Amino acid sequence: LLPGAGVDVPDGSKLVVTIEQNSPHKDHLLGHFRLAVTNESAVAESARLPAAVLAALAIPADKRTDAQKAAIGDYYVHYVAPELKPDRDRLAELKKSLAATKPNTVPIMKELAGAERRKTRLQHRGNFLDLGEEVKEGVPAALNGSGRPQVTNRLELAKWLVSPDNPLTARVLANRYWEQIFGTGLVRTSEEFGIQGELPSHPELLDWLATELVRDKWDLKAFVKLLVTSATYRQSSKVTQQLAEHDPDNRLLARGPRLRLTAEMVRDQALSASGLLSHKMYGPSVKPPQPTLGLNAAFGGSIDWQTSPGEDKYRRGLYTEWRRSNPYPAMSTFDAPNRDVCVVRRNRTNTPLQALVTLNDVVYVEAAQALARRAVKEGGTTPADRAAFAFRQCLVRPPQPEEIARLLRLFEEAKAAYAKDAAKAKEMATNPLGPAPAGTDVTELAAWTVVANVLLNLDETLMKR
């Protein structure tokens, strides 16, 4: 701040400078200030702001042009804070590098603005050449309550769906989460919630869950916690003869849920127990290993399924590429749907092919090899400790003495068999995972792979109970 003109101070006079702080923020105080005095008029003139900067500062900030903003910025950079030049240069380099970066982009669906939306017209008798009047957005009158405004865009449709006046959405969602956690929905036919579907087994419970979901402002995390901490869910899943006779499907909820894991979870369970599962999130789909026979059947000689490298081939089943022409065979065997039609509810089946997949598929063999190496490395020094370690990784409970005894007997039998054939032992221990760790007994590692393979195929491993 410079005075408009020189100030004459007679000899012996005292100059008093008063600073007024008019900031609306009471806690904002000046940290440092400095007074500079000179009797050289040339120095004072050089310290004045350039006319262009003064003119730019006189204009409100929101009305300045880009040129005026640049003039103020350049002056500040060169005269007010030159000591920050290295940091500013570094920032400019980073901005330039960021601008040159071309990240991978994923196309997404976007609703067009009102003026850009296409006009939809009635087609007389389905003839696209014979168009009738224009059709506006909206909800069928039979579904829209009296006195409610018409829905004109997706946001209004979403608000209409979750409106307190529409209980159906909350009931369907509550039933869907119940189905995922308990195995069967309160309305068994979750794909048909109307009059053609099955009536709810516990209608009052379904109504209460729906109202709780709305009351908690659609907090799904809280809703799941409500279900899994309930006394109904925490019951034992053991089936007595009396329950099996009177309620084989557990529609009366007299016991806890017992069901096989979904197709994706079966694979994820094996990868997790073996330590191979990648927790990497987001990104494009991946291509885990699959049998070549299925590829040849789908694509003939032009196979374009290249197994993803590195940790990508161990990503969760959620990220597996889903092809209509060639659905991932291991998951299809466990009732994963294809892309031909939309499937609301998966039907669970039991076939011998499922056991063949978990015993022989390359993904599960590799998981067994990795679990065997974990048992040798982390499970202790004795066979009993290693067997108990592998058991806990798969079943998440300590083994019983008779269970350990059976696993050790299997280990000794496999070890004796592989000791007679070094080539088969090496094949069992290293293909497809890779060379065994240095200093490891390959014969013993092959035997532990057999034990791990059995553990990964136990009914208790593949079941949620």
Secondary structure string (H, E, C) spanning 407-439: HHHHHHHHHHHHHCCHHHHHHHHHCCCCCCCCC
In this structure, the chain runs to a length of: 465
| Phi and psi, residue 123, nearest 5° | -110, 115
Q: What pLDDT score does 411 carry?
A: 97
Task: Give dist(CA 402, CA 394) in Å, integer.
Answer: 17
Q: Which two tokens stand for residue 57?
A: 């500062």
Task: Give dist(CA 452, CA 264) in Å, integer.
Answer: 20
Which of 305, 312, 343, 337 shows the shortest CA–CA distance to 324? 337
Q: Which two tokens stand for residue 260?
A: 């096989």
Q: What pLDDT score does 117 carry?
A: 81
Distances from the Cα of 376 to the Cαs of 97, 250, 339, 440, in angstroms? 48, 42, 42, 9
Distances from the Cα of 316 to the Cαs of 321, 342, 345, 360, 465, in angstroms? 11, 22, 21, 20, 22
Q: What pLDDT score does 46 carry?
A: 54
Examine the domain organization and report whether 362 and 297 are in the same domain.
Answer: yes
Range of the domain at 73: 1-88
Examine the domain organization and report whether 218 and 79 are in the same domain.
Answer: no
Examine the domain organization and report whether 64 and 203 are in the same domain.
Answer: no
The dihedral formed by the CA atoms of 365, 367, 372 and 377, expressed in degrees to the nearest 10: 150
Give CA angle at 343 (184, 306), nearest 5°.
115
Q: Which residue has the tokens 């050449």?
A: 129
Residue 96 domain flag:
no
Cis peptide before 284 (omega within 30 of 0): no
Examine the domain organization and report whether 272 and 294 are in the same domain.
Answer: yes
Q: Which two tokens stand for residue 215?
A: 């009351």
Task: Give dist(CA 374, CA 368) in Å, integer.
Answer: 10
Domain final residue, candidates 219, 246, 273: 246
Examine the domain organization and report whether 266 and 385 are in the same domain.
Answer: yes
Residue 343 domain flag:
yes
Is residue 344 a contact partner of residue 190, using CB atoms and an 8 Å limit?
Answer: yes
Residue 207 domain flag:
yes
| Phi and psi, residue 392, nearest 5° | -65, -35
Give the burial string for 81-91 (b: 16+ CB within 10 Å, else e): eeeeeeeeeee
| Phi and psi, residue 75, nearest 5° | -65, -45
Residue 48 domain flag:
yes
Which helix (H) or strand (E) covers residue 133, if one does? strand 131-135
Listed in sequence order, the residues at least 6 apart from 373 whose beta carbon sits closer than 8 Å to its beta carbon are: 433, 436, 437, 440, 445, 448
Domain final residue, candidates 88, 106, 135: 88
Per-residue confidence in pLDDT tens, the chain, 465 aa: 566 666 777 888 888 888 877 777 777 777 777 777 777 665 555 566 788 888 888 898 888 998 998 888 888 877 777 777 888 889 889 999 988 887 777 788 887 877 788 888 999 999 999 999 998 887 777 776 665 667 777 888 888 888 887 889 999 999 999 999 999 999 999 998 888 889 999 999 999 999 999 999 999 999 999 999 999 999 999 888 998 999 999 999 999 999 999 999 999 999 999 999 999 998 889 999 987 765 666 556 566 778 999 999 999 999 999 888 778 889 999 999 988 888 888 888 999 999 999 999 999 999 999 999 999 999 999 999 999 999 999 999 999 999 999 999 999 999 999 999 999 999 999 999 999 999 999 999 999 999 999 999 999 999 988
Q: What is the DSSP letter of 463?
A: E
Examine the domain organization and report whether 263 and 329 are in the same domain.
Answer: yes
Examine the domain organization and report whether 203 and 270 are in the same domain.
Answer: no
Q: Which two tokens stand for residue 243?
A: 């329950």
| Phi and psi, residue 463, nearest 5° | -115, 145
Examine the domain organization and report whether 358 and 435 are in the same domain.
Answer: yes
Task: Give dist(CA 313, CA 323) in Å, integer.
Answer: 16
Examine the domain organization and report whether 232 and 283 are in the same domain.
Answer: no
Residue 280 domain flag:
yes
Q: What pLDDT score does 265 carry?
A: 95
Residue 114 domain flag:
no
Q: What is the DSSP letter of 320?
A: B
Which of 7, 28, 465, 6 shows the shortest CA–CA distance to 237? 465
Q: What pLDDT score does 359 carry?
A: 95
Looking at residue 331, its amino acid is M
Which of 222, 198, 205 shows the shortest CA–CA distance to 171? 205
Listed in sequence order, the residues at least 6 apart from 114 whose beta carbon sits closer than 8 Å to its beta carbon are: 153
Cα of first residue to Cα of last residue in the chain, in angstroms, is: 77
Q: What pLDDT score does 9 carry?
A: 78
Which of 284, 325, 283 shows the shortest CA–CA distance to 304? 325
Task: Give dist(CA 56, CA 64) in Å, integer.
Answer: 7
Residue 97 domain flag:
no
Q: Which residue has the tokens 């008093």?
A: 16
User: Helix, strand, coil % (nearest 5) of the chain?
Assistant: 50, 5, 50
Examine the domain organization and report whether 242 and 283 are in the same domain.
Answer: no
Q: Determine the longest span between alpha carbons in the chain, in angstroms.
A: 115
Examine the domain organization and report whether 324 and 420 are in the same domain.
Answer: yes
Domain final residue, candidates 88, 118, 151: 88
Is residue 376 a contact partner of residue 433, using CB atoms and an 8 Å limit?
Answer: no
Q: How many domains does the chain have?
A: 3
Residue 132 domain flag:
no
Task: Give dist(CA 336, CA 328) in Å, integer.
Answer: 9
Examine the domain organization and report whether 313 and 389 are in the same domain.
Answer: yes
